Structure 1
């Protein structure tokens, strides 16, 4: 399958595979935050759109477009600057590309997972990019008035993840007693007991090596007995980079 970003002359979207790294995770003691595999996998599960410019924005608390003031760094091209377009305490980025996904696939648009920003929050969207001939915007909403928000050039402003259009509609959902799934109750209780024993052992005999301070069963895709539970378990995802746009074809 292929994800394509179509561009007109002068459109220069800054796109990259999403990083699994986060500053706050790097700063956690012994970088223990990376022991949470679901966090790490979510961080990298798509592509990021980067800001082409640095700027500072502030919202005065009103609901009109002019209640958001944006000050871009010197040299910012007008067409690359964010705008206060809709009011309602929002900040808007025009994404200079028309994206195309395979038939039946949408793009989930949001902020980068697990990357909070003080005073402003990303708004999510779902776009049918297998047919739409339209570009779209990424919007953020201020959460605190009279608080200066800063975006640096090259900072992620949007996160893109393909999702099959029928993913949610195709599921049924129910609540069931744990005993109705053969072996699940026993497996869970065995894991819970082993986790408690591990924590007790750690409290009694602290280990010095960071890798020995967590159990790693889920991280390694193992069941409570230590056997492989999932042959296609993954601890890393690698989105490919966008290749360069080919040169325009000369008209005869």
Structure 2
């Protein structure tokens, strides 16, 4: 069913069969699954942030090595033959650049934050972020990663997320009025905070007592279950339901299959 209030987010495909894929960002991360008992997945702020945008998945496995600070100072090892939209050393200083095969369009007044995949840990490289005026620009943009160590090969695997796309309203940040106030300025909030502090201290103390309720629970779950320390309901945001990119005349099957592959791999 079409949402009459929905906002169009269009990826104009400049070439076919490039290997790059667009998917909603999933809630899981491999390093989070690898924590003891997948403990990191209990942190709702992390899980919700993981899903806050769409990912462009790498179309090819690429190896990169930072040799010098010159413009061509990164050795990039591609498959043979090299893909059309390959990673290159363009800016120097150990920066690897992907020329992405899409031209994006957002509604008037919305720009696109192009950032590294949220909570995606990459050994040897850090993603560089940019904001693109995709409501009016007629040019493409690049995704750039800064290598952090010289003379070391860094691998970007096929299907690995290259960047995260987050539309945001232009001028929204400027509307905020930041201020610093003592907690006593909001008596109800101050009382709730004091109650939470006591509950937290009691839970941590009981956690070391064999057979205690805290030890059986393993962790406090008020936030996850949608309640404050005072017992008031506060429904948490646990999942984001982002639409998939679709093609004219088709349903979401193709995008859904790619999304499922990404979720299983990462």
Q: TM over 0.5: same fold?
A: yes
Q: Residue in 1 aligned with 2:22?
A: 15
Cα 1:211/1:20, change in 2 over 3 Å: farther
Q: Residue in 2 aligned with 1:192?
A: 197
Cα 1:208/1:71, change in 2 over 3 Å: farther
* 1:177 CA drift (Å): 0.7
CA contact (8 A) 1:11 1:97 kept: no
Regions of 4+ moved over 4 Å: 206-211
How many corresponding residue pairs?
243
Q: Residue in 1 aligned with 2:71?
A: 65
Q: Residue in 1 aligned with 2:130?
A: 125
Any gaps of 5 or more consecutive residues in structure 1? 248-252
Stretch deviating more after TM superposition (132-141 or 197-206):
197-206
User: Normalising by the residue count of structure 1, what TM-score does the alignment of the two structures yield?
Assistant: 0.90
Q: Can you list the C-alpha shifts for 1:134-182, whole angstroms capped at 9, x where unaligned?
A: 1100000111111110011111101101111112111111110111113
CA contact (8 A) 1:30 1:210 kept: no
Alignment of 1:41-190 (within 5 A): 41-60=48-67, 62-77=68-83, 79-190=84-195
CA contact (8 A) 2:32 2:40 kept: yes
SS of equivalent to 2:72: helix
In 1, the alpha carbon distance for the partners of 2:137 and 2:56 equals 19
In 2, the alpha carbon distance for the partners of 1:225 and 1:126 equals 40
In 2, the alpha carbon distance for the partners of 1:72 and 1:206 equals 57
In 2, the alpha carbon distance for the partners of 1:179 and 1:53 equals 55
State yes or no: 1:237 paired with 2:259: no
In 1, the alpha carbon distance for the partners of 2:169 and 2:17 equals 27
In 2, the alpha carbon distance for the partners of 1:75 and 1:208 equals 61
Cα 1:92/1:146, change in 2 over 3 Å: same
* 1:228 CA drift (Å): 0.7
